[in-house]
Structure 1
Amino acid sequence: MNKEEQVIMGFRNLLNKMAWLNKFKMEDSLKGYTSSEVHYIEYIGRNVDSNVTKLAESLYMTRGAISKMTKKLIKKGAIESYQKPDNKKEIYFRLTEEGQVIYKVHEELHKEFQERDKAVFEQVTEEQFDSMLSFVEKYSRHLDAEIKKLGVDSKSEKFE
């Protein structure tokens, strides 16, 4: 296995381990909500005037999938839809009290996980962080270009 393959496998393994480690605590603390639902809630909680298009762009999902999930979250009472007085065409989403609770629990869990992993990050130098961030940005731009070659703009809604 060459270094390129080692890096890709390393990223995959890291993400899988993080997901596995975090899963049990997340499921226990956020009963009744799937990981996907929590990610939608997180995005809506962090972004004012979230709408289907913004959610689709950010979560790399189709508008149809976003519509389906937002309906589900409205039914669960985690989010609500609204319109602006000056724009009756666009529908936006915001968290309800229930959604705020889920959002806060999720944020606290992230802080807990960060604290758990702090020992590793404290050993990383500024130069190492800069190098890693540079690599991630380059790779992300490359993947954006590859997506665009397929006729799909990763920052627009053309996944359907």
Structure 2
Amino acid sequence: MNIVNEIISSLKKIQESNEITVPSIKNKLTFSQIHCIAAIEYIEDANITKLSQELGMTTGAITKMCKKLLNEGYVWKYQKEGNNKEMYYNLTELGLGVCKIHKKVHEKSYNKKKAIISQYNNEEKVTILRFLNDMNSIIEDTFSEVVENYTGSDD
């Protein structure tokens, strides 16, 4: 395999690693679900609107995700006195456990990445950063194009 294909293969592996198994948890969680759990921990009175804004997802997607997290025992919901319309979310012990693991994973991952990056000189770091920015741009542009073409074809 040539170096270009190896890089593309490596990027594909990174992109497709969107589920993780957490010990003592019955089902795999997507990164979006884990980040939703983490957001519920630090957002005061977390509701669908606040979570949607924080995570950059639609309210429909957040509603569906919170319903699943509720059904699987990661979160519980509540209402404030005098407000029977708005639902808020808080973490269960199971959700707090996921949050704790999430924080440790981010900390370890950050330190490992920092150690790897320190092995490169400044010129290489600039090239790596430019490459990663280009890759992110491709992902964003491709997604936008597909969504635009998809929604445009329904007219």
TM-score (norm 1): 0.57
User: What RMSD, in angstroms, separates the aligned Cα atoms of the two structures?
Assistant: 4.3
Asked if structure 2 preserves the Cα contact closer than 8 Å seen for 1:56 and 1:62, the reply is: no
The higher relative CO (CA closer than 8 Å, separation ≥ 6) is in: 1
Asked if structure 2 preserves the Cα contact closer than 8 Å seen for 1:44 and 1:94, the reply is: yes
Residue aligning to 1:54: 52
User: Aligned ranges for residues 1-160 of structure 1 at < 5 Å?
Assistant: 4-13=4-13, 15=14, 26-28=21-23, 30-36=24-30, 37-45=33-41, 49=46, 51=48, 54=52, 58=56, 63=60, 66-81=62-77, 91-115=87-111, 119-152=115-148
Structure 1 distance, partners of 2:148, 2:41, is: 27
Asked if structure 1 preserves the Cα contact closer than 8 Å seen for 2:76 and 2:91, the reply is: yes
CA deviation map 1:87-118 (0-9, x unaligned): 87665544345422320122123334455566
Deviation at 1:141, TM superposition (A): 2.3
CA, structure 1 residues 88+4, in 2 after alignment: closer, same or farther (shift >3 Å)? Answer: farther
- AA matched with 1:141: S
Which residues of structure 1 form unaligned runs of 5+? 154-160
CA deviation map 1:116-160 (0-9, x unaligned): 56643331334433332332223222332222223449xxxxxxx
Give aligned pairs, total: 144
Structure 1 distance, partners of 2:140, 2:115, is: 33
Identity among equivalent positions (%) equals 24
Q: Give the structure with higher Rg (CA).
A: 2
CA, structure 1 residues 45+151, in 2 after alignment: closer, same or farther (shift >3 Å)? Answer: same
